[in-house]
Amino acid sequence: MSEAVIPQRPPVWRDLLALAKPSITLLVLITTTGGLWLAPGALSGTQLAATLLGTIIVVAAANALNCYLERDSDKLMSRTRDRPLPAGRLRPETALYFGLTLAAISLPVLTFGVNTTTGLLAATALVSYVCLYTPLKQVGPVALLVGSIPGAMPPLLGWSAVTGGVEWPGIVLFGIMFIWQIPHFLAIAIYREREYARAGIRTLPIVRGLQVTKWHAIGWSALLLPVSLALYPLGAAGALYFWVTLALGVGFLGFALAGLRAQSNESWSRSFFLYSLIYLTALFAMLVIDGAPLHAG
């Protein structure tokens, strides 16, 4: 008889990396870079490195602490039950100390290595994500609005790193990210509704129903259109950005409206979610391509 094969546990460093949620961290890095590129002025090599490194570490800290706080509810969802804590590969204390250590490193890096404004914005994002958004997910849909604040902070971090302040183009970048997250996560909440209900996470579809959720997605998608285009009259992006973003925004709204007649809510919400990722990637790509007028100024 052949001996049973015992699956090997992944190395600890890989589980610690999983706590940092690399895919989310990468998205944050991309949007932060958009703010860096668009802002007028320049950073020294040291400041640029401190901005990027500090942002990566503070996001990793927030994600690790989120994993610590949600370790019990994560056991109840298929997409999260194999994370290091619910799977039992790491002790909760390890995740807690890991997250706190990263936070203790990242905030001084951003405050003293970049500037005080950037450090303060990062601290606000970290505290609001861990101390407000995470526990509010068990309370009601208001968690999505609260959680969209730290989620919208990365491009503003990039902007403030260069300028040392918060001006209108940076605020518009914040607004784009804030608004975009709401239909993006509503789409997730629709096709993950059963899992969220089992985990006790009170999303909008669970609390208010599917039809109300779809109308919220439509409303926020409609609002995203003028806010995303506001960078053009502010002189932060050129005509190419305007027209491409207009087309992207009309497509975004069209996807939201299609939900009203969707034959399969799961299929529609998944497609809407995927388009939201394409939308954001294309928008920030256009900022790099056509954000030169302000960047050069």
Dihedral, 177, 179, 181, 183 alpha carbons, nearest 10: -150
Question: Does residue 3 register a pLDDT over 90?
Answer: no
Q: Taking the domains of the chain in order of start, what are their residue ranges?
A: 10-140, 167-297
Provide DSSP, 149-210: HHHHHHHHHHHHHHHSS--HHHHHHHHHHHHHHHHHHHHHHHHTHHHHHHHT---HHHHH-H
pLDDT at 294 over 60: no
Fold of 10-140: Tetracycline Repressor; domain 2 (1.10.357)
pLDDT tens column, 171-224:
999 999 999 999 999 999 999 999 999 999 999 999 999 999 999 999 999 999
Q: Which of 236, 120, 123, 116 is nearest to 175 (CA)?
A: 236
Confidence (pLDDT) at 291: 83
Q: Which of 83, 63, 69 is nearest to 22 (CA)?
A: 63
Residue with tokens 């208010």: 208
Minimum mean pLDDT range among 36-40, 135-139, 141-145, 292-296: 292-296
45-60: average pLDDT: 97
DSSP structural state of residue 260: G
Q: pLDDT tens digits for 155-171?
A: 999 999 999 999 999 99
Q: How far apart are CA 242 and CA 286, in angstroms?
A: 9
> Residue 292's pLDDT is what?
58
Q: Give the pair of three-digit tokens for residue 231.
A: 């960078």
Confidence label for 296 from pLDDT (cuts 50, 70 and 90): very low
pLDDT digits (tens, 9 = 90+) for 68-124: 999 999 999 988 999 999 999 999 999 999 999 999 999 999 999 999 999 999 999
Q: What predicted TM-score, i.e. pTM, was given to this entire model?
A: 0.93
- Interatomic CA distance for residues 138 and 90, integer angstroms: 24
Average pLDDT over residues 61-69: 97
